[in-house]
Structure 1
Amino acid sequence: MTDFSKCCKDCLAEFDAYHAGTRTEAPPRLTRPALNPGPRCATHWREELKRRRLAAHEKHVQGVYGLKEGEYADLYRFQGGLCALCRRATGASRRLSVDHDHATGAVRGLCCRPCNSLLGHARDDPAFFQRCIAYLNDPPYQQLNRQQNKEPDAMPRLRQADETDPDG
């Protein structure tokens, strides 16, 4: 006979629900012991920690940014689960940051940490990003070489990893 006092309380609840006829899947196991000092097995404890972290994050964004319950998740889905700027970060290892206008407090979207830091560094100035675009399209070094009428082939470039050094 199983000692139910040492069973995980969530496993026991699943077991009771199964035998009460309210669940249709296979009967849960009652062999998973509850780890000391808590009343849950490792599987259910991981689920409980995940639930608590999600609830704490939800409470934080509600208090700081004024989002209503579920709005963070709605915005995340609306953005396709990606950073609004780089479209690479998914928020899987670190949740996406809530980007907001510091002057008005209005939420703009969800960004990864590097993109949100970039916006902060630029102080939300569109002229900064116009300069970035100009820099990428026509770098100062290329401008200098054009001004000095140098040949494009004479410009130094980074050596590729597969190139061999003729001197050595």
Structure 2
Amino acid sequence: MKLCPRCDERKDFSEFGPDRRARDGLQGRCRECQRLANRETYARNRAAILAAAAARYAANPEPAKAYQTAYRKTAGRAHGMTPSEKRQRLDELGWACQVCARPFETPTAAHVDHDHACCPGKQSCGECVRGLLCAGCNHAIGSARDSPTVLRSLATYLER
């Protein structure tokens, strides 16, 4: 349990976002209070924030244009799947992780697992999608660099 100084409530560690600079690795404020503080800061400094963004764009518009072009090509699609296609796939899978069977509360909790040999990085062509996993299982596969050998070795290590 950790005390949030803003709302003065003791909350579970899961209620605090990560902060690598902090001694305990967590932000000082709970997620809810941090969200409110961010909104207040933006409201106070909106004009300056927008002016700085406009200045960055004016100084170097090419990265923003490239981002916009890429976004238009994939708008509404993640890994070649529209939100409705993802929901349909979740319905077929019973709204659970294909590895550990942990249930998904929302579609965003289902992470798209794809073959990085086909499409390295965070986006995929859609042809190499293997399934929908929870964050933990998807990260485990990614940390093992998609190697079944490494994953078998991990299982052997855990079973010792």
The bucket for the TM-score relative to the shorter chain is 0.3 to 0.5
Give 1 or 2: higher strand fraction.
2
**Relative contact order higher in (CA < 8 Å, ≥ 6 apart):** 2
TM-score by length of 2: 0.43
TM-score, with structure 1 as normaliser: 0.41
